[in-house]
Structure 1
Amino acid sequence: METNSSHVQSSNSDGETDDGSESFDKRQLIGAETETESTNLLPEVEGLCITGEARPGHTIQATGEKKPEYLVTADDVESYLAVEVIPIGKGEQIGDLVRIFANEHKKITCGNEMQDAVEQNFFNGHASFDAYLVGYYDDRQRVKLEFTKDRFIIKDGKLHPIVNIIFLPDMMITIPGESPTGFEIHSIGASLSLKLETENSTLRDLIVLTMRSFLLRVRLAALLPRTINAQILFT
C-alpha cells in the first residue's frame, strides 16, 4: 500500500516554517491520503494544487481524495502557506517531498478591503465591533468591543462598561486553532484572560488585526523617551 501524506504548513519565510513568532501559531491540517494497488509505482502527485482565495476569512483547499481544507486567518498574514506531500509506502518515505505554495508563492495579505478598514481604525484612533463574551461554562453574552488609542472597553447589551483596561505592552490577542470565529485577549500585567467570539471568521480577523495595530502603537511608545510618548499615544 502506498500513500500520499499531506498537510498545510504556515511559514514566515520561503521554505522555512515559523516556530517562534507570537503572531503565528504553527497550525497544521492533516490532509488526505490516496492509495494505489501497485507497489511498483510511486504515489501520483502530479497536478497537486491549492484552490481558493488565500486571505483571512477564506478557506483554501488542496487536491486529494478527501480534499483537505484550511481556514486562512489573521495569523497567516505576512507568512507563506504551503501544502507538503510526502510519498509513503509500507510505512517508509519512498519519494521526495513535494511542496506547493498558495497565493502564487507570495506572502498572504489581508486584502484591500480589510487592510483599508484596519488602517482607517488605526488612524481614527477608535473602533467598535459586535462580539460575544464567552463565560466559564461557554455561555455567550452579546457585547460591544471598543478600542481607543490607549485602552479597550467591553460593554454589555445596555452599553454599560464591564471591562475597561488600558493597553499594556504585554497584552496579546490570539486565535485558538480549534475555533473558526473565536479569539482571546491575555495580559499578565492586567491579570486578564478573556475569550470572545464573533459571527464569522472575517469579522474575527478584522478585530484581531485592528487590536494588534493598536497594541503595536503602545509597544513602540513604551520604547521611546517619556517626553515623546504622549505625542504618539494621544495625537
Structure 2
Amino acid sequence: MRDPFSAPVDFNNENHRAGNELTRTNMPLSVGDYGLQNGDATTFAVNTDTLVRHQLQGASLQNDLTAEDSITRLMDPETKGLYFRSRSQEEEILLLRKQIADASVKELQLLSEKHILERKLFDLRMAVDEKQEDAISGALKQLSQKKGHVEENMRLANDLKGEEEELYFFTSSLLSMLAEYNVRPPQINASAITAGTKRLYHQMQWKIKYLNDATRNNFHQYAQDPNDRNTGQMYHGSNYHQEIVAATPSNYFEENNGPREVRLDDSQFYRQDNQEYSADDDPLPGIEGFQIVGEPRPGFTLTACGFPTNGTTLCNFQWVRYLDNGTRQSIEGATMYDYVVTADDVDTLLAVDCTPMDDNTRQGELVTEYANNGSKITCDPEMQNTIDMHISNGRAHFNLLVLGYSSDEWELAILTLKRTGYHIKVKDEVLTEEKYSSNLQTKIPNGRTTQFVLVSSGGVNIPFNTQGISEPNNEDSDVRS
C-alpha cells in the first residue's frame, strides 16, 4: 500500500493559489519591517533571515498546494476534513497576519500624523505666548501713555486754574476801576466790559479836552484876580464825579417805554461852575455844541455829545426816526447817549432829542440833532443787493433757531417768506403758515441782538434766534433785514 503523503501531487486549486500568492505579495509589509523608537515612526533595516524564511515557507506552501488535489482524493473523509480544517486555519492565520501588517502601517501613519500635530501645537503655543507678550507690552505702553496724559492734563488744569485766577483778578480790578467812575456794565462779559472801558476812555478824553479849553480861556482871568475863589480849584484840580442813573438794558421780552435818565458830569459835558446867577434871573439849563459823532451806517455806534451850560446836571435822551410820510417814531429803549444803527433805520431820518435838566429838576429847551447831516440812513450795498434779489425772486429762505418747549431748547428751523405769506418748518414739519395781515408783528429789541419775536395774526409769540448761524458781524443785520 502506497503512502498517500509521498504520492505526487497535482496542484490545481486556483483559489488557494490566489490566496497564497496574495499573501506572499503582501508579506514584505509585515510588522517586522517597522519599528518604533522614542515614539517616532521610523523604518528598520530589512532582516535577511526573515526574508529567507518567508521565501522557504512560500515555496513549501506552493508545493503543498500543488499536491493538494491528489492528496485529498486518496484521503478518507475524516482525514480530509482535518486537512481542510488545517488549511482553512492556515489561510485565516495568513489573513490575520495581513490585517496585523495593515494595522501596523496605519498605526505608523497615525503616529507620524500625531508627531506633526504635536509640532504644530507647539508652534501655536509659541505663537500664543508671543502674542500674549506683545499684548502685555502694549498694555504697559498704553498705561504709560495714559499716565503721561493724566499728568499732562493735571498740569494743564493747574495752568488753566492759574489763568482763570489771573483773569478773575484782572476782571475784578477792571470792574473796580470802572466802578470808581460809576461805570457799571450790565453784564459781566468781555463785550460789556470793553464797551464800558471805551466809554470811560471817551469820557476821560472829553474831560481832558474841557480842562485844556478851560485853562486856556480862563488863564488870564485867574492871573488878573488872584483872590478869585476858583483859583485854588484850578491849580489843585477839580473834583469831578460821574453818576449814571439808568435802568438795565432793555429786556427782549419785557416792555420798557419809560425814558432812562443819564446823570452828567464834566467828563461828558462842561458845566461852568464859576457863573453865579440870582434866583430870579437864573437861565434854564442848556447844551452847547450838541452833535452826533460816529458813522451813520447799520452796525455802527452813534454817540450824542455836547457841553452842558447853566448848571445842567441831567439829560434825557430819546432817539427817534422820521418816516417818509412825516411820522415821528420813537425808538423803544433808545434812551442813552449812544445808539447802534440798525437795519430798521435804513431809509429814515435818524435823530436824537436831548432835554437838559439841573439839580432843581428845571428843564431846559429841547435840543434835536439829526444823524448823517440830516440825510437818510443808507443801507450797506451788499445787504441791499441781497434784499433786491429776494424781492425779484419773490421768495426767500432763512435758517434760524426757534424756541422749543423749554426755555433753553432751540431747534433748527427754516423761515420762508413769499409774496403773499410765510411759513415756518421744523424738521420738515410745518410749524405755522399764514398770510400777511395787519395783526402780524415782529418785535426786535434795541441795539445789537440775535433774537426777535414773531407775533402771529392769532397773537402767538414765536421766539427766534440767529446766534451761531449768521456771521458774528452780520447777525444783527440779518435779524432786522
Q: TM-score range by the shorter chain?
A: 0.5 to 0.7
The residue that corresponds to 1:142 in the other structure is 412
After superposition, the Cα gap between the structure-2 partners of 1:98 and 1:178, relative to the gap in structure 1 and judged at 3 Å, is closer
For residues 127-175 of structure 1, the C-alpha deviation after alignment (integer angstroms, 9 at most, x for no partner) is: 122222124524322323222333323333xx52342403232322232
Q: Which residue of 1 aligns with 2:465?
A: 197
The SS at the match of 2:454 is strand
Question: Is 1:100 the equivalent of 2:369?
Answer: yes
Within the candidate set 388, 397, 403, 1:128 is matched to 397
CA distance in 2, matches of 1:94, 1:130: 49
**C-alpha displacement at 1:201, in angstroms?**
0.6
The answer to whether the Cα contact below 8 Å between 1:125 and 1:149 also exists between their aligned partners in 2 is yes
Give the share of equivalent positions with the same residue, in percent: 28
Tell me how far 1:197 sits from its aligned partner.
Answer: 1.9
**Pairwise CA RMSD of aligned residues?**
3.7
Alignment correspondent of 2:62: none
Of residues 263, 270, 273 in structure 2, which corresponds to 1:38? 273
Distance in 2 between residues matched to 1:31 and 1:82, nearest whole Å? 18
Residue 110 of structure 1: aligned partner: 379
Counterpart secondary structure, 1:104: helix
Structure (1/2) with the larger strand percentage: 1
The match for 1:155 among 425, 439, 459 is 425
Q: SS where residue 49 of structure 1 aligns?
A: strand
Change (3 A) 1:27 1:177: farther
Larger radius of gyration: 2
1:166 matched to which residue of 2?
434
Inter-partner Cα distance in structure 2 for 1:80 and 1:26: 21
Pairwise CA distance, 1:95: 4.1
Amino acid aligned to 1:168 = Y
Q: 1:51 aligns with which of 286, 289, 293?
A: 293
| Number of residue equivalences | 182
Q: Per-residue CA shift, 1:59-106, capped at 9, x if unaligned?
A: 2222369x8321223333343322333332223336433221111112
Deviation of residue 122 (structure 1)? Answer: 1.4
Provide the residue aligned with 1:82 in structure 2: 351
Change (3 A) 1:123 1:139: same
Partner of 1:222: none
Q: Which residue of 2 aligns with 1:217?
A: none
Q: CA deviation at 1:27?
A: 9.2
> Aligned residue for 2:302?
60
Alignment partner of 1:118: what SS? helix
Any idea what SS the aligned residue of 1:122 has? Answer: helix
Residue in structure 1 matched with residue 31 of structure 2 by the alignment:
none
One-letter amino acid of the counterpart of residue 454, structure 2? I
Matching of residues 213-232 of structure 1 within 5 Å = none
- Counterpart residue type for residue 464 of structure 2: L
Unmatched 5+ residue regions in structure 2? 1-239, 245-255, 277-282, 308-335, 468-474
Counterpart-to-counterpart distance in 2, 1:143 and 1:38: 59
Distance 1:80 1:122, change over 3 A: same
Q: Is the 8 A contact 1:34 1:64 kept in 2?
A: no
User: d(CA) in 2 for partners of 1:197 and 1:183?
Assistant: 7
Higher relative contact order (CA 8 A, sep 6+): 1
3-state SS in 1 of match to 2:290: coil
**Distance change >3 Å, CA 50–CA 71, structure 1 → 2:** same
| SS of equivalent residue, structure 1 residue 93 | coil
